Structure 1
Amino acid sequence: MNKKWFGVILLALLIGIAGFNLYSDRKDVTSIENIGIAVNNDKTGIEQGEKAPDFTLKTIDGKEVNLSDYEGKKVLINFWATWCPPCKAEMPHMQSFYDGEPENVEILAVNLEEKEAKVSEFVKQYELTFPILLDEEGSVGETYEVYTIPTTYLLNEDGTVNQKIIGPMDEAMMKKLIKD
């Protein structure tokens, strides 16, 4: 192939890439916005800045809890299991943090796919007093793409994802996350 055709193909490829990127950047913009009418394009998802997907789970006491009930507070959603050594190490730190009565902060500890009796025994052993939710089917863990435990999501007061932390945390780390 001669140099002329190579240049033409390269130029066409670059124009195509630029056009695709422009289209991708603009696909959420509506024509209504262009005439000055505000449109709410809140996106639900698990990425930073997105509105966290709402869910309803039962506590070990049988009470239904909705994530959306906690809007107005910062929320730590912690995914864990009783058999997980890092989760076991993290729980006393979470309890200590919770006992410090953090202002305007809630912990929701979501147990993944274990029976209520086993979770209740664990809660008693570790003397946990923050809400323990049961995700017996694992559907919430799946929605939040929890592949490693413990995994914690920090949500802002408006319910948007601030940060995802994979691995155990200690009390000092929790305080820093909430402060920042």
Structure 2
Amino acid sequence: MNKNLLSVAIIILAIAIVFVNLLDPFKKEASEEKSNSDTEEVVSADEEIPGVDLSEVEEGKMAPDFELTTLSGETVRLSDYKGKKVILNFWATWCPPCRAEMPHMQNFYEKNKDKGIEVVAVNLTNMDNGKKEIEEFVKDFGLTFDIPLDEDGDIGMQYQAFTIPTSYIIDTNGRIASKFIGPMDELTMKNLTKEIE
């Protein structure tokens, strides 16, 4: 009896394996169709977004200048930092990776501000929770670098900050040396700024 039961179980298992393998090509086909439809929604450099030139912020190109007001009410332009290496960062208070990155950014800034390296952390204010929240965030983290407010979202869009944090490393001539998506630590900032003029 036990041998018969074992034989039946083996046969059922074999049938199940054959059945799953027969269905697998259909699953792959459905998966590929879904994947293709997902891919169509991703913006490539060849596509156009109204009001945005995706080729404008490529490595090796001059970083587009902008003018914004900082949290402290001062007007700053990116061109004000020419002659210095710049970490241009895009962030928001509600973003957990941004929160994780900020202490590293502040420490890096403290160690390097007298060595010709600036941190310009553009807050995506149009997507954030208001100036009061930003002020509390800056106070809680003890941030001392410039924090321009992108109140209309134009600069974040221009710099393709679709995922945050997004950072650009800009050389002393105002050229984009590299783009980094995601949170950076001090070592990453050091390595990215060390290799540029």
- Normalised to the residue count of structure 1, the TM-score between the two structures is 0.74
Opposite residue 79 of structure 2, the aligned amino acid is S
Deviation at 1:145, TM superposition (A): 1.0
Runs of 4 or more above 4 Å deviation: none
Show the counterpart of 2:119. Answer: 107
Show the counterpart of 1:126. Answer: 141
Q: Give the distance between the partners of 1:61 and 1:117, measured in 2 at CA.
A: 12
SS at match of 2:68: strand
For structure 1, list consecutive stretches of 5 or more residues without a partner in the other structure: 1-43
For structure 2, list consecutive stretches of 5 or more residues without a partner in the other structure: 1-54
For each residue in 1:120-178, what CA deviation from the matched residue of structure 2 results, as whole angstroms up to 9, or x when unmatched? 11000111111111001111001111110000000011101000000000011101111
SS at match of 1:101: helix
Listed as ranges, the matches of 1:75-154 within 5 Å are 75-102=86-113, 103-112=115-124, 113=126, 114=128, 115-154=130-169
RMSD: 1.1
- Normalised to the residue count of structure 2, the TM-score between the two structures is 0.68
Opposite residue 75 of structure 1, the aligned amino acid is V
Show the counterpart of 1:56. Answer: 67
SS at match of 1:142: helix
Could you say which structure has the larger radius of gyration?
2
Q: Give the distance between the partners of 1:116 and 1:108, measured in 2 at CA.
A: 17
Q: Give the distance between the partners of 1:143 and 1:72, measured in 2 at CA.
A: 23
Q: Which has the higher helix share?
A: 2
What is the identity percentage for the equivalent residue pairs of Structure 1 and Structure 2? 53
Q: Give the distance between the partners of 1:68 and 1:45, measured in 2 at CA.
A: 16
